[in-house]
Amino acid sequence: MYAKPFFALFLSCASMLCLADIYKYVDQDGNVTFTNTPIKGAIRIMSEPAPRRSTNTESENTTSVRPVAPRNPHVSAPSPNYFPKVDAATQRSRDSNRRQILNDELSSEQAALNTARKALQEADNNRSSEEKNNPKLYLDRISRLRETIVMHEKNTAALQAELSRMR
């Protein structure tokens, strides 16, 4: 009976909380804190626009409401004035260095993957006497080798995906 008004009040309060500014505060130790409440020395990094209200200058006899276009969450906001900027040559150099680092990491992951696959293939020939007497030890070792292979496969796929996004 009283649930509907309470629920409506709750939703209106919750929607007001969503329209908050975001502040970034860095303390003397270099710890970064993001908050929606202003802190002395904090910098406002994001601000939601206040809802538009009608003023006396607008036509009073207009009853139509303009639809609000949905915001695209993938559109990035322009950088603030205090944000450091680099020239195109520096950015190309950074991109080139990043690509080289990713390629180096990819080759080392592929080498580790090949080594892990080789170790799994050779695991049957290299069974210790303990593993022959206790098959659970052998199965545990095989399981660890397979987990290592899966980890290197995932790392390789992630590095290849990152490289493909750069090109």
Q: Give pLDDT tens digits for 54-91.
A: 555 444 444 444 555 555 555 567 778 888 888 889 98
Residue 17 has pLDDT above 60, yes or no: no
> Against a cut of 0.75, is the pTM above it?
no
Residue 15 has pLDDT above 80, yes or no: no
Paired with 60 in beta bridges are: none
Q: What angle do CA 43, 45, 49 make, to 5 degrees?
A: 120
Would you state the pLDDT for residue 41? Answer: 84
Would you state the pLDDT for residue 5? Answer: 55
The domain limits of the chain are 20-47, 88-166
Would you state the pLDDT for residue 115? Answer: 95
As to burial, measured by CB atoms within 10 angstroms (0-12 exposed, 13-18 middle, 19+ buried), residue 116 is buried
d(CA 25, CA 38): 9
User: In this predicted model, which residue has the larger pLDDT, 105 or 27?
Assistant: 105
Q: Which pair of structure tokens corresponds to residue 91?
A: 């950015």
d(CA 115, CA 149): 9
The string of pLDDT tens digits covering residues 99-123 is 999 999 999 999 999 999 999 988 8
The string of pLDDT tens digits covering residues 119-149 is 998 887 788 888 888 889 889 988 999 999 9
d(CA 47, CA 36): 10
Paired with 35 in beta bridges are: 23
pLDDT mean over 33-52: 74
